Amino acid sequence: GPNNQDKSLSSDLDPILKLQGIPWLLRKTILFTPLTIQITHHTETTNDASGRTTMHLTARQTSIKAANPPPDIRHFDWEVYEQENFLFGGIVCRNRYIRGDSVSALAEVGGSAGGGGGSGDGDGVVRPAVEVQSLLKDGGDLVRRFLRGEVEVDGCTLSEGFLVEEPVVWGLFGEEGRGDGEGIWGHVFDRKKDGGWCSEQVWGFEMIHGERLYTRRAVVTDSTGGYRLARLVY
């Protein structure tokens, strides 16, 4: 169904839009325009022995105050493809679903020590097992912790992070639909076709003020490896 962006809970997107080269006046128009996102999806299953299922997702943004942009098309098979974006022009996309691995609460306090390689082991906290694709000048540990939901956008405050929920569609992770680990999250990586910036996101659900809300944790990097973090809440 439709999801309204909650700008009171979402990060300020002005620094990210500025990094992506959006002019000041257009940035202000975007920031003060209420948006609704409508997501639809369908699946395709291969006819070979793997029986692999691929999810295809279409996200349409609508607003009562502005013209509606073309839909955002996502194929969750980790194949590279191109699409046109009304703000940025040509973008190159890759998308996939990822499972979770566990990290101890002690490791989270001191910084992520990487995944545990599987499901939680008692006191472990399950987080998305995201392999960061962005090229970052500081090595990317903070970015990885944020995308996994270990810390908030300030990079310091510990976060309860994403809810751990199982797939509702069989076959996304092989014949039995399970694969290694727990949970399921969307991992989206875009780069501007003619260079300049990359965007990487993890999609899932979080409990915020006692309510289950759809969120997108994002990092946008420039050509020097500098970056900005943001969380969008719907």
Helix (H/G/I), strand (E/B), else coil: 1: coil
- Write down the pLDDT at residue 32: 86
- Write down the pLDDT at residue 65: 61
Identify the CATH assignment for 2-233 out of 3.40.50.1370, 3.10.150.10, 2.40.128.20, 2.120.10.70. Answer: 2.40.128.20
Higher pLDDT, 148 or 68: 148
pLDDT tens for 4-63 read 889 999 999 999 999 999 999 999 988 888 878 888 888 887 666 666 778 888 988 776
Helix (H/G/I), strand (E/B), else coil: 224: coil
- Write down the pLDDT at residue 166: 83
pTM: 0.85
* Alpha helices for 70-198 (secondary structure H): 105-110, 141-148
C-alpha span between 126 and 120 (Å, rounded): 6
Structure tokens at 111: 């910084």
Structure tokens at 126: 């399950």
Q: In whole angstroms, how far apart are CA 23 and each of 26, 28, 117, 195, 198?
A: 6, 9, 43, 17, 18
The fraction of the chain above a pLDDT of 90, given in percent, is 58
Which amino acid, 98?
I
- Write down the pLDDT at residue 21: 93
- Write down the pLDDT at residue 122: 42
CB–CB of 37/3 below 8 Å?
A: yes
